[in-house]
Chains A and B, each alone.
Chain A
């Protein structure tokens, strides 16, 4: 009770003064204090608010299932994970896929490949597109997470989640006929992101869309970069992690809005370009300076169109 009231009366002032993080941090701490972590609540929280960086790794791990909800088993589970990591790494070293000179990202990739049974016979085999995606994500993740074990695990689970969304779509689409829950719709959208992207872009700025259509650039936009790599390598990590907060918590739709917002932000430049290739090229290498604003706006836009997610429980 006291805690609650304290939070309430302060929150008003924090909101007013503009310290958004303070209150959120506190509430997150409260959430994390629970012995058995409430995954749902954490999901909702990370969807509504940006995560404080000091808790980001923990929350992500919990959300991605790397850590169980019980604090007691954290240490043990983490130990397992570490062992697993070292075992796999060792195995890779043994089979000489990896040596000390191998870049960390590739190590992650080989580990992932090994764990998913997709390790090629020879390390010199060419990389598949999904491997490229993994590499990009892992590279971004490396910047965000310091510990290599954590980094590997998070990257692995993140990629798995993305793949899970993608794979489970047909199943979900069948089921989604009657109940289209938040996540289901998200999943659904994950695969129709290009379409959804067009739809929202039309709502926000139809002229821009028509321009793109005129240039026949709509189909050539860097959807892979945006929706498969989740903007890894497109946005700087500092802002990217905010986007990934949402993705990790189960909302893929944010990617669409980030893409829309990128187009809106660079509307003038995009309008100035007539060639679809140029547009694509430009979009693949957008300037990094305004990324924070883009992300903030994208989140606002997302809230605007999809409403603020509320803890259903």
Chain B
């Protein structure tokens, strides 16, 4: 007898009630099913994919040793091998958590330094909660906006670089500021300026050297772009020093 039940044509995902010609499946069938991409849960298509977790998974495909190695590379900018390692497997784990750690370290050390300074002067001190929010804005903003701008600029000069690779590069370039901030506890003003300067220089040259080979293909303006990147990173370092460690009463 003809069934009145609506039968759905198999559409990739196996329907519950498939055509009558199919023999009943037993449990073993699911194991012998050929892999045809159904194992992913239902993924939104098109622009909605930006909101699903699974679409970002490829950018977190790193192990602990990978992350540690990339961090070590960022500390020695003149090796220039960072780009080769990350071109095919850029990760967003490093940039995000380095930024977050940096925010925490900046807030805590900035607070500690102003606390000590106020106590030494025997003045009243209150915790400034805005330090956290301002540092968050500064670091997240820098790592998000500058690579984005650079991506657009490079595209304009027809030397396109992947956006995620740029995020990765800038994120890891900020790692050197963590030990810098720890060293800045020392209350010598000149020492702080030296430390900030050295860190800024190393970070800026890390970014510039890793991009140089790529940008050279952009034509005769490459030096401007590279110099611009370099100075921007130095400026970040100066802003950091001034904002966090200037003690105002």
A interacts with B: no
Question: What residues of chain B have their CB less than 8 Å away from a CB belonging to chain A?
Answer: none
